[in-house]
Amino acid sequence: MKRYEAIAQGISESIASGIFRPGDRLPSVRDTSESRGVSPSTVFQAYYLLEARGLVQARARSGYFVSHASTVQSEPAASEPPAHEHEVEVSELVFQVLGHARNRNLVPLGSAFPSPSLFPLPKLALALGRAARNLDAWKTVEHLTPGSADLRRQIALRYLAMGCNVDVQELVITNGAMEALNLCLETVTGPGDLVAVESPTFYAALQALERLNLRAVEVATHPRTGIDVQSLAAVLERHPVKACWLMPNFQNPLGSLMPEPAKQALVALLAQHDVPLIEDDVYGELYFGPHKPRPAKAWDKKGLVMHCSSFSKSLAPGYRVGWAAAGRFAAAVGKRMLMSSLSACVPAQEGLSEYLQRGGYDRHLRQLRQALAEQRRLTVRLISKHFPSGTKVTQPDGGYFIWVELPQPIDALELHRLSLSQAISIAPGHLFSADHRYSHHLRINFGHPENKQFEEAIKTVGKIARALAAR
């Protein structure tokens, strides 16, 4: 843990235990700097982090104050999935919910996608048009899997910038991260094999297991710090796990972020058991803190981590350009790709490469993160105000999902149906576990800041939930 993180943690514990109360002013940056013997900039970083987490708010010329929302909501406890293995069968519900996400007449609280209006689509279109017009015809053959050499170089540069050494040869361009994840899973497993996942877990992981006739074992996961590495160690001792599919950064649906030491321990544990990690990192760019969180891949020395990401959630929705940095499995993943969809769209690869080369991606990302961080604060505030008492929410440091645990008697499926009748979609917790354990939970997408009906929709869902709780 870095210095500023330790300071922030100390303060957040003081808030949780009631030492600081809502409305209290934090000590000034100078005072804290002196009392702790650290530089003012370290204190600023700590305060920024607390602000990003919604625990404190800056007021112009007055300093930092403890937020009113910060203590109202408590966070859900770590999950305790049963330790047995099970077949995977995900219900029709996923497709229904995905279907609703497309309907622009619904307020998309249940959507898996952020608002397309958050992205620089006009600039991308120019880059795409330019790239397509200048495309050397032969590149339509040369850019087939593993993909455009230019684009792979750009991606490798971004890995380097976050302190992660990925060789261009290790990169396979795919049709979005989803295909990358599926190909990696296919490469390291065979029918009937067992795969460890978080609990709750992203439904697409469950679907991928179902599609490949794999079995799942769910592992205890904390809503703030992600999968519990000790629990995973116990699972690995008892079960013949062939691979893990995890999201260390801003997990879907929890929004959890594994601390660096936990990532390091995870990679070491898997190396010891020689179990590959399929790392889903599509939200890694959407951090609210001062630094980009490194993926588990950064600690990988054995080529066991297959890091998958894309531009779909950070830059270019609908372009369907993703990749796998597949370590020692890269050649095998490339072959699977040639055997399944052959290649990602060549003009899209070329267009993105051109956009990245011209710069502007990082500026766009800063704006995007700021918009999402603000929206997260608003959403937590709204939920704490309008949802029934006893509701618990996560306060993720990145991404665009909040995980809500409702008071026990509320059935999220009923809430889902009643919300739909009010033209609001939500993602009921049932989607996020093979045994539908999260029946009084929901995932709320706050990635639509421009949606004028958003605030009203949260209020409406809260009202319905309160009525259900009171029954």
Residues at the contact surface with a second copy, assessed by CB under 8 A: 95, 98, 101-102, 104, 111, 113, 116-117, 119, 121-122, 124-126, 128-130, 132-133, 135, 137-144, 174-176, 178-179, 182, 186, 190-191, 204, 207-208, 210-211, 213, 317-321, 335-336, 338-348, 351
Nearest distance from C-beta of residue 179 to a second copy, angstroms: 4
Task: Map residue 421 onto helix, strand or coil.
Answer: coil
Closer to a second copy by Cβ: residue 42 or 145: 145
- Give me 38's structure tokens: 């650290």
Closer to a second copy by Cβ: residue 298 or 348: 348
Nearest distance from C-beta of residue 345 to a second copy, angstroms: 4
Handedness of CA 448, 454, 457, 462 (dihedral sign): positive
CA distance 250 to 49: 15
Look up tokens 């297991």; give the residue. 209
Nearest distance from C-beta of residue 396 to a second copy, angstroms: 22
- Residue 311 DSSP code: S
Nearest distance from C-beta of residue 146 to a second copy, angstroms: 11
Closer to a second copy by Cβ: residue 64 or 245: 245
Nearest distance from C-beta of residue 319 to a second copy, angstroms: 6
Are 220 and 227 within 8 A, CB to CB?
yes
Closer to a second copy by Cβ: residue 184 or 464: 184
Are 248 and 258 within 8 A, CB to CB?
yes
Closer to a second copy by Cβ: residue 52 or 197: 197
- DSSP assignment of 166-183: --GGGEEEESHHHHHHHH
Closer to a second copy by Cβ: residue 207 or 225: 207
Closer to a second copy by Cβ: residue 47 or 329: 329
Nearest distance from C-beta of residue 312 to a second copy, angstroms: 8
Quote the Cα angle for 70-73-79, to 5°.
125
Could you give the count of Cα atoms lying within 13 Å of 380 in the half-sphere of its Cβ?
30
360-398 burial, b if ≥16 CB within 10 A, otherwise e?
Answer: ebeebbeebbebbbebbbbbbbbbbebbbeebbbbbbbb
Closer to a second copy by Cβ: residue 211 or 291: 211
- Give me 400's structure tokens: 């665009």
Quote the Cα angle for 275-256-405, to 5°.
120
Nearest distance from C-beta of residue 132 to a second copy, angstroms: 4
Closer to a second copy by Cβ: residue 147 or 223: 147
130-147 burial, b if ≥16 CB within 10 A, otherwise e?
Answer: ebeeeeeeebeeebbbbb
Closer to a second copy by Cβ: residue 12 or 148: 148
Task: Map residue 392 onto helix, strand or coil.
Answer: strand
Q: At what angle do helices 149-161 and 346-358 cross, to 10 degrees?
A: 40
Nearest distance from C-beta of residue 137 to a second copy, angstroms: 4
Alpha-carbon dihedral of residues 172, 177, 178, 181, nearest 10 degrees?
Answer: 60
Amino acid at 457: A
Nearest distance from C-beta of residue 431 to a second copy, angstroms: 13
The set of residues, in sequence order, having a beta carbon less than 8 Å from that of 341 and lying 6+ positions away, is: 175, 179
Nearest distance from C-beta of residue 349 to a second copy, angstroms: 9
